Amino acid sequence: MQTPTSSNIDHDCGKFITLPQEEILIAKREYWLLMLFPIAFSLLFSLVLLAVGTIIFLLGLHSFPLFLASILVILNATIGIVGRIFIHWYFHIYIVTTRKLLEVTYSPLDTLMENEVLLDQVRCTEVDMKRGGIFHELFNFGTIRITFDRPTHQQEFVLSNIHKHRQVGILLSRILVGFEAVGFTNPIQYYAANQLSRRMGAT
Amino acid sequence: MNFITIVLLFFFFVVSVFFLLYGYLHIRELKRAKNDLGLALPEKAKTILMIALWFSFFSVGVLLFLLVTTLLLGKH
- Under an 8 A CB cutoff, do B9 and A65 touch? yes
A143 contacts A31 by C-beta, under 8 angstroms: no
- Under an 8 A CB cutoff, do B56 and A106 touch? no
Tens-place pLDDT, residues B2-57: 788 889 999 999 999 999 999 999 888 888 877 777 777 888 888 998 999 999 99
Tens-place pLDDT, residues A54-110: 999 888 888 888 999 999 999 999 999 999 899 889 888 888 888 888 888 888 888
Q: For A71-99, give the DSSP string.
A: HHHHHHHHHHHHHHHHHHHHTEEEEEESS
Residue of B5, B58, B64 best to disrupt the A interface, most CBs of A under 10 A: B5
- Cβ within 8 Å of residue B61, ≥6 positions away: none
Q: Is the pTM of this model over 0.90?
A: no
What Cα–Cα distance (Å) separates residue A200 from each residue in A16, A41, A68, A125, A195?
A: 54, 59, 82, 32, 8
**Looking at the complex, does the CB of residue B17 fall below 8 Å from at least one CB of chain A?**
no
Residue of B16, B17, B31 best to disrupt the A interface, most CBs of A under 10 A: B16
Q: What is the pLDDT of residue B62?
A: 93
Please, what's the largest Cα pairwise distance for chain B? Answer: 57
Tens-place pLDDT, residues A122-171: 777 778 888 888 888 888 888 888 888 766 555 678 888 888 888 888 88
Closest Cα of chain A to B75: distance in Å? 17
Q: What is the pLDDT of residue A172?
A: 81
- Under an 8 A CB cutoff, do A79 and B12 touch? no
CA-based R_g, chain B, Å? 17
- Under an 8 A CB cutoff, do B55 and A14 touch? no
Q: What is the pLDDT of residue A185?
A: 47
Tens-place pLDDT, residues A7-34: 666 666 656 667 777 788 888 888 888 8
Q: Please determine, for residue A6, whether its predicted confidence score (pLDDT) is greater than 60.
A: no
Backbone torsions φ then ψ of B6, nearest 5 degrees: -65, -45
- Under an 8 A CB cutoff, do A76 and B16 touch? yes
- Under an 8 A CB cutoff, do A69 and B66 touch? yes
Please measure the distance between the N-terminal and C-terminal CA atoms of chain B and give it in whole angstroms.
15
Please tell me which of the candidates B12, B25, B49 has its beta carbon nearest to residue A83. Answer: B49
Task: Provide ipTM, 2 decimals.
Answer: 0.87
Q: What is the pLDDT of residue A13?
A: 62
**Looking at the complex, does the CB of residue B37 fall below 8 Å from at least one CB of chain A?**
yes
What chain A residue is nearest to B27 in terms of C-alpha separation? A108
Average pLDDT for A174-193: 55
Q: What is the pLDDT of residue B40?
A: 79
